[in-house]
Chain A
Amino acid sequence: MAAAPEAQGFADRRRASDHESFLAHKRLRWLKIAAGLNLVAILGYAFAEVEPRPNGGTWYGYILGTIGALLIVWLSLLGVRKRAMTPGRWSLKAWTSAHVYLGLALIVIATLHTGFQLGWNVHTLAYALMMLVIASGVYGVWVYALLPHKLSDNRRELTQAQMVDALAAVDRQLEQAAQPLDRADADRVIAALAQDPFGHGLISRLSGRYRGCRTEAAIAALDAAAGDPALERVATLLGKRLAQLEQIRRHMRLKAMLEVWLYVHVPVTVMLLAALTAHIVSVFYYW
């Protein structure tokens, strides 16, 4: 394609820009702050005089718990904050950087708050939900760092709409090309065309394995070697269709991997806020 060299040049220009990831924002300012916070928390845990043993019910435990609860509320406000992009000290990038590093710091703060006393109760539920949110967040950061360039490699300058259109174009040709086919083969083509490329579930999308693919089934079933030019043409077009489908599927897989953590991160955050409320209220209710 003649457009390819220019696209390459564009990509190079893009990489050479002064883009700074939110992870490296202000030379890791929030990483340093979070690490400092954790260090203070650990030293405090080691040296605070608490009776009879460290846990959430000591003065130090209450301090850690208060910090942890405030952090959780603030971290969950990213969902509100991200809807308003502003530059400057409190830019969304700064906020996101702080979100990631303070969220990680919460692992230490909340674990020290528990005093390593866990059980089957609403308190540990809150802790477990929090750890789940953090784990999904870590995954999110990881895939955001790793997958976007794979996504654009796979697109090959096509938009999502163009991928769908390309599939539709092949389908239209298939529709015409399949006219001479007998009933059985025509049914196979109909089945392949009727199958919704987006009709597959989470597992197929994430794994990239589509067992019920009727296009593949049709290719396998058509006897293209028989020398019938119509059949050959349909088989060729089915091959083109499958190639197009595979690009769409790779795209969906990467997209699913990029998106799936949010389906944990966001609702579990809301549940965490509920469990945190129950945790705090119950402690003071049965004071």
Chain B
Amino acid sequence: MPFRIRTVDVTATGREIVRERELGQAELTIGRAAENDIHLPDLAVEQRHVRVVPATGGKLRLEALGKLAFTVDARPVEEAAIIDPSEGAELAIGSYRLEFLEEDGAVVIVVRKIAAREGSKVDDLAGFSLAHVLPGNRPVAWIGLLAILLAFLAVPVWSHMTRTRHKPDYDRAGAVLMDASWRTGALSSAHHGLEDNCEACHVQAFVAVRDAVCVACHTDIVEHAARPRQAVARGPLARFEQVQWNVAHAFSKPGPGACTDCHTEHEGSGPMERTRERFCADCHGSLDARLADTALANAGDFGTHHPQFKAALVTGPTLAEVLRVSLDRRPRQWTGLRFPHEMHLSRTNGVAQMARRLGARGGYGDPLECADCHRPTEDGVRFMPVAMEQDCEACHSLVYDRIGTTFRTLRHGNIEQMRADLLALDARAPRVTGRRRPGQYGTLYRADFGGPGTALLSRAMGEKGLCGECHTPAGGRGSLQVQPVPQPMRYFVNGWFDHEDHKQEQCTSCHAADRSDASSDLLLPGVGQCRDCHMGESNRTAEVPSSCAMCHSYHPRNVTVAALPRIARR
């Protein structure tokens, strides 16, 4: 295959001069020496640099003759490379570029000198990197940094510092901007209205929430006990606790004994986190060791470390005799009444029979039930005092006279009126021989208290008498005075029991009324009975793990022992 060497020179004015010559030989050499077929006057080129020899299939083999390499299509070649002129190839040696191509069956070699050594510029190579198409890390980082610091730090801090201060107000929205982003969690339902008013509590920057802020709204909160007494009760702190408090004080935390020690906020919506047993047990678990004069027994855990309940009882007819006594001592109370629960709850005796007769018309079930006489208070927590007119008189009728279709009834509690009524009855003839309930003619039941008239009055205080059947006489002979009938609304001074929460239970599963034959029986369940379901807070097997706060309130309100908040709210 003949070679056609085409040399292209460029004049100073930029004009190209093309010279062409034909070489008939099969191979040729390229180098700096003049005897080469292609002579390249450049010191970077070896005297004899490359030999071009034919290879199979019309291809050419370029062989290095010296030690210096050359490049073919920008690829460095150290020894030899095969090229195909019909596809084209570019050989670069020194400052010369030789383009191989095929024209009319001849291999054309176009020789050009490059003005300067061409190489890829650094700019080109930068294109390989992502930096070529992405914004730099620095600007992105700076913008992000400034945006975050501005939105989440500068704006809230600035607006907190420049706000106008108001008295804490539950209904006022906060003035600090962007501080919602600082909220570590939702407030409890009680404080939900303050959700948007952080500065109501967080008054001063870098100063932990103080008690004064809480008391500003909770004005009726009274100290649990005198502060010095509390400090004595708390006793010296354990070493680790002391360390914790030292750190806390270094960071301006108030306490121990501050509101926020027990009442932690931002724990999520819903009721406030219940105060843990430990907060009480820390002092009360071994209170007598530090407060020698305390009247309180130690208590640290309801299930395992709680004294028997003490009931506040009236023990005698002078109501001043109130005694707080442990249920373990099986105390008896003074009620002023003769009232056997057992008889009233029997399913077989006369009482049951009477209730059956009165039946649904009188609002009774089959035999008597507790609820027939005991009505809960409106909040369901406790029970109303039993009232004669409402709860007893349906059976224990005080009807003493009948005139035509009208029945006359004695007035319960009004002694003088009663005496006058009965005396008037005596003076009148004929006497009534029987008394019936309105609308119930011909029944057996009547006030058969030993005969009509005078008998009714004179025997009233006897054991089967009109009054004495239930009441304890208080006056002398002929007097209708009875002993007072105390009906305590609460037996437990320091704890709270909520009947409403226990209404799934049978009354008799706690109160052994169906086995009580005397009104002096105290029908209160002891701590052991409560433990059937309630055990300490940490007891995982109990039906109801119970912390102190379930029954006890920490804060006295208006100096008396407070109802639990959930009870007080009803």
**Which of B79-87, B459-467, B556-564 lies at the interface?**
B79-87
The stretch of A142-150, A157-165, A219-227 that contacts the partner chain = A157-165
Which of B148, B186, B247 has the most A CB atoms < 10 Å from its CB?
B148
Q: Is the CB of A275 within 8 A of B276?
A: no
Q: Is B500 in contact with chain A by the CB < 8 A criterion?
A: no
Indicate if A8 sits at the interface (CB-CB under 8 A): no
Given contacts A53-B267, A121-B181, A274-B145, contact A166 B88 (CB under 8 A): no
Residue of B nearest to A251 (CB): B128
- B75 an interface residue at 8 Å Cβ cutoff? yes
From known contacts A123-B184, A275-B152, A287-B251, infer whether A237 and B202 are also in contact, taking CB-CB under 8 Å: no
Q: Which residue of A lies closest to B87 (CB)?
A: A236
In the complex, B144 has a CB within 8 A of chain A: yes
Of residues A169, A173, A233, A262, which shows the largest number of chain B Cβ atoms within 10 Å of its Cβ?
A169
Assess whether B125 is in contact with A233, with CB atoms less than 8 Å apart.
no
A266 to B139, CA, bound (A): 11
- Residue A56 lies at the interface, judged by CB distance under 8 Å to chain B: yes
In the bound complex, do residue B80 and residue A162 qualify as a contact, i.e. CB atoms below 8 Å apart? no
Question: In the docked arrangement, what's the CA distance between A260 and B252, Å?
Answer: 45
Is B179 in contact with A286, judged by CB distance below 8 angstroms? Answer: yes
User: Which A residues are in CB contact (< 8 Å) with B275?
Assistant: 52
A87 adjacent to chain B (CB < 8 Å): no
The answer to whether A260 touches B128 (Cβ under 8 A) is: no
Query: Given the interface contacts A198-B132, A282-B156, A287-B202, does A165 sit within 8 Å of B141 by beta carbon?
Result: no
The answer to whether A198 and B184 touch across the interface, beta carbons within 8 angstroms, is: no
Whether the pair B153, A278 counts as a contact (CB closer than 8 A) is yes
Known: A168-B120, A233-B86, A278-B152. A255 touches B110 (CB 8 A): no
Contacts A166-B75, A177-B101, A278-B149 given; does A202 touch B88 at CB 8 Å: no
Instruction: Report yes or no: A122 in contact with B267, Cβ–Cβ below 8 A.
Output: no
A93 within 8 A of B: no
**CB neighbours of A284 from chain B (8 A):** 206, 251
A285 neighbours in B (Cβ, 8 Å): 156-157, 160, 182, 202, 205-206
CB-based contact A270/B141 at 8 Å: yes
Q: Complex Cα distance A282/B118, Å?
A: 59
Is the beta-carbon distance between A121 and B120 smaller than 8 angstroms? Answer: no
Expressed in whole angstroms, the Cα–Cα distance for A71 and B206 within the complex equals 24
Complex Cα distance A282/B45, Å?
72
Range for the number of chain A residues in contact with chain B: 35 or more
**A287–B209 touching, CB < 8 Å:** yes
For B78, give the chain A residue with the smallest CB separation: A3
Given the known interface contacts A56-B184, A287-B207, the answer about A176 and B110 at a Cβ–Cβ threshold of 8 Å is yes
Q: How far is the CB of A5 from chain B (nearest CB, A)?
A: 11
Write out, one digit per residue, whether chain A residues 49-62 have a CB within 8 A of any chain B CB (1) or not (0): 10111011101000
Indicate whether A169 sits within 8 Å of B74 (C-beta atoms), given known contacts A52-B264, A255-B129, A284-B251.
yes
Which residues of chain A are within 8 angstroms of B79 by Cβ–Cβ distance?
Answer: 2-3
Q: Is the CB of B86 within 8 A of A287?
A: no
Pairwise interchain contact A51-B264, C-beta atoms closer than 8 A: yes
* Interface check B180, CB cutoff 8 A: yes
Which of B81, B182, B244, B247 is close to A121, meaning CB atoms less than 8 Å apart?
A: B182
Closest to B123 in A: A198
Q: Given A51-B264, A260-B130, A285-B205, decide whether A273 and B145 contact each other with a Cβ distance below 8 A.
A: yes
Q: Are B75 and A282 in contact (CB under 8 A)?
A: no
Residues of B near A281 (CB, < 8 A) are 153, 157
A-B contacts, 21 listed (Cβ < 8 Å):
A52-B264, A59-B247, A120-B181, A121-B182, A164-B125, A168-B120, A170-B90, A197-B127, A198-B127, A198-B128, A200-B133, A248-B128, A255-B128, A255-B130, A266-B141, A271-B148, A274-B148, A278-B149, A285-B182, A285-B206, A287-B206
Known: A236-B88, A237-B87. 16 other contacts (CB 8 A): A57-B184, A119-B183, A166-B73, A166-B74, A173-B99, A205-B130, A233-B86, A259-B130, A271-B141, A273-B145, A278-B153, A281-B157, A282-B156, A286-B182, A287-B207, A287-B251
- A-B pairs, top 8 by smallest CB distance, nearest first, are A198-B127, A165-B74, A270-B141, A166-B74, A271-B144, A267-B141, A274-B148, A286-B202
